Amino acid sequence: MSRTTNELRQAYLDFFKSHGHTVIPGASLVPENDPTVLFTTAGMHPLVPYLLGEPHPGGKRLTDVQLCVRTQDIDEVGDISHLTCFEMLGNWSLGDYFKEGAISMSFEYLTKVLQLPIEKLAVTCFEGDDDAPKDTESAAIWEKLGMPKERIAFLPKAKNWWGPAGLTGPCGPDTEMFYWVGDGEPKGNPKTHENEWLEIWNDVFMQYFKKEDGTFEPLAQQNVDTGMGLERVAAVIQGVESVYDTDAFTPIIEKITSMSTAKSDNDVRHKRIIADHIKAAVFMIADGVEPSNVDQGYVLRRLIRRAIRSARTLGIEHAGTFGSTIADVVIAQYGSHYSHLVKKQSGIKESLKKEEEQFKKTLEEGLKQFSKMVEKIEGKMIDGKTAFHLYDTYGFPFELTKELAAEHGFSIDEAGYKTAFEAHQNLSRAGAEKRFAGGLADHSAETTKLHTATHLLNAALRTVLGDHVYQKGSNVTAERLRFDFPHPEKMTPEQIKQVEDLVNKAIKDDLPIAYHVTTVDGAKSEGAIGVFDDRYGSEIKVYVMGDDKKGVFSKEICGGPHVSHTGVLGTFKIQKEESSSAGVRRIKAVVSGGPADIDTAGEAQG
């Protein structure tokens, strides 16, 4: 029975709902309060605080679909199974069911709901090492359910262990599920026939916390974190060769084909790259990213430019409407589930148009430079440094330089380019690693304090500047908080001082902090602040700072965690107030002098 991608997404959520899971909305692609990664890369990512024990308002069983962006496989994009932007279906147990429950539900879903023949399924389990024992328990559960022994492979940590996503954090052994995509009858298992078995689902048993010293400590709460690739499952169910041949991608690819005016040797791949990259760009822009030269904006820019480069090879016009034409098809396809795409359609198209126009200018300038450069070159070889310069300064994807070189009868010193590129990458990787060092699970005392300070700041800004202030963006590291909010002009020194004084008074008053669980409407009617978009689940947490006796200073929708009383923040100081973009101000602030140990706020009593 074939099913559309939209139907498969819904079927998964319905199945886990019927097994007692709360369906929660996927989070933004740009992680909130997590400076350690640029994009949400897995469904568990926004759930880290809850995996570490923070109660979730939806309870102990959750399910969702999370749009993810992963750029580490960017060079694989265009093969049969890799994407930079994909949907991950997931179900979680926060200290509720464990291996038996997770595996039997996975098995039921695969064989009963998706009706995949058991003969075409295989699984892998963790083979064990010094850190954790061989996972014979999972293997025994699979066998009991009917999985033949020869379809169960044991593999080492490199394959069958997931996380932590940063240097420290929750992690554990996993059991992965595969579907036979090889020719003829299924053979062996993913260990003996690696390339013929396609991974479709991963059940992670998050029972450890990896510490900074590299050792593993059992977690107080035994969790399950699963992730199923929606596009891959759709390919399997629809019986097509690649994720790009599924119903979700077909109209996008067809549109690209209709726009093409030239043939290239690598047609199929270029079309797939365009489809994947423009889809990723659409979702990124919808979540507030704009093309730029740093962080998320840089990744977005690179994706758009790579798509344009592929468009060139297919003879597609790219003077301003290329990206937005494809964006329309992407939004038509995904808008029914991701309604924010429809709401933001014109802004998304505008942003793509601007970047395309800008790149066209850069491209023209770069082409001039390129011609000048080749005039100066003796012989027929462009050295690696020059090729890298075009990439670094003009944003020329390497393939583009290579093509231009070929057109002019030149070749490129690819090894030299690689060396120049890697030197640069090492530099940026050093930066990236530093970002990572905080760990995805950095819910340290310092970040928790700064997170609480963010709420106090938000409330104080509203008092001083007015109710038009709300959190447009927030980013907390262990060193500082960063808060973006709409406000038409620069704050005066007096206003900055007033805000600081208000926050410091709230700290001095040592306000108690607690949360309660309510609905979005409940939160609205009690006057809690929060960005009321459709991202919230039906049950949400409201953190209240202050009480009847001392006065309520802040009431805000938030997942937590927070400190249990404001006194531990020490002293609050605004270090910088600057423009972030048109009509948006940015504050960077710190706290200092509080105790190193803190308790986190619990649920309000009574």
Which positions touch ligand SER (CB under 6 A)? 42-44, 90, 162, 202, 204, 225-227
Q: Which is nearer to ligand SER, 57 or 227 (CB)?
A: 227
In this structure, what token pair is assigned to residue 100?
């038996």
Kindly state the smallest distance separating residue 343's Cβ from ligand SER, in Å.
28
Cα(569)–Cα(169) distance, integer angstroms? 24
In this structure, what token pair is assigned to residue 395?
């944003």
Q: Which is nearer to ligand SER, 170 or 291 (CB)?
A: 170
Helix, strand counts (H, E) of the chain: 18, 18
Kindly state the smallest distance separating residue 434's Cβ from ligand SER, in Å.
23
Kindly state the smallest distance separating residue 44's Cβ from ligand SER, in Å.
5
Cα(503)–Cα(454) distance, integer angstroms? 10
CA torsion through residues 338, 342, 346, 352, sign: positive
Q: Which is nearer to ligand SER, 171 or 412 (CB)?
A: 171
Kindly state the smallest distance separating residue 393's Cβ from ligand SER, in Å.
36
Distances in Å between the alpha carbon of 31 and those of 68, 224, 536?
A: 11, 21, 15
Please count the other Cβ atoms lying within 10 Å of the Cβ belonging to residue 492.
10
Cα(249)–Cα(83) distance, integer angstroms? 12
Length of the chain: 606
Kindly state the smallest distance separating residue 335's Cβ from ligand SER, in Å.
25
Closest CA to 233 of 247, 254, 251: 247
Kindly state the smallest distance separating residue 373's Cβ from ligand SER, in Å.
43
Instruction: Report yes or no: 499 and 507 within 8 Å, Cβ to Cβ.
Output: no
Q: Which is nearer to ligand SER, 186 or 227 (CB)?
A: 227
Kindly state the smallest distance separating residue 162's Cβ from ligand SER, in Å.
5
Give me the residue whose beta carbon is nearest to ligand SER: 227
DSSP string, 426-466: HHHHHHHHHHHHT-TT---HHHHHHHHHHHHHHHHHHHHH-
Distance of CA 534 to the CA centre of its chain: 18
Closest CA to 398 of 57, 49, 36, 75: 75
Kindly state the smallest distance separating residue 170's Cβ from ligand SER, in Å.
10
In this structure, what token pair is assigned to residue 150?
């020869």
In this structure, what token pair is assigned to residue 203?
């059940």
Q: Which is nearer to ligand SER, 202 or 310 (CB)?
A: 202
In this structure, what token pair is assigned to residue 569?
């923040």
Q: Which is nearer to ligand SER, 202 or 242 (CB)?
A: 202
Kindly state the smallest distance separating residue 204's Cβ from ligand SER, in Å.
5
Kindly state the smallest distance separating residue 526's Cβ from ligand SER, in Å.
35
Closest CA to 550 of 507, 493, 495, 515: 507
Alpha helices in 52-185 (DSSP H): 99-108, 136-145, 157-160
Distance of CA 50 to the CA centre of its chain: 17
Kindly state the smallest distance separating residue 541's Cβ from ligand SER, in Å.
23
Alpha helices in 146-266 (DSSP H): 157-160, 230-238, 250-259
Q: Could you identify the residue written with the tokens 């060769």? A: 241
Cα(275)–Cα(242) distance, integer angstroms? 13
Q: Which is nearer to ligand SER, 154 or 162 (CB)?
A: 162
H-run or E-run covering 526? none
For the chain, what percentages of helix, strand and coil (3-state, to nearest 5) are there? 45, 20, 35
Q: Which is nearer to ligand SER, 72 or 261 (CB)?
A: 72
Distance of CA 95 to the CA centre of its chain: 24
Kindly state the smallest distance separating residue 90's Cβ from ligand SER, in Å.
5
Q: Which is nearer to ligand SER, 90 or 366 (CB)?
A: 90
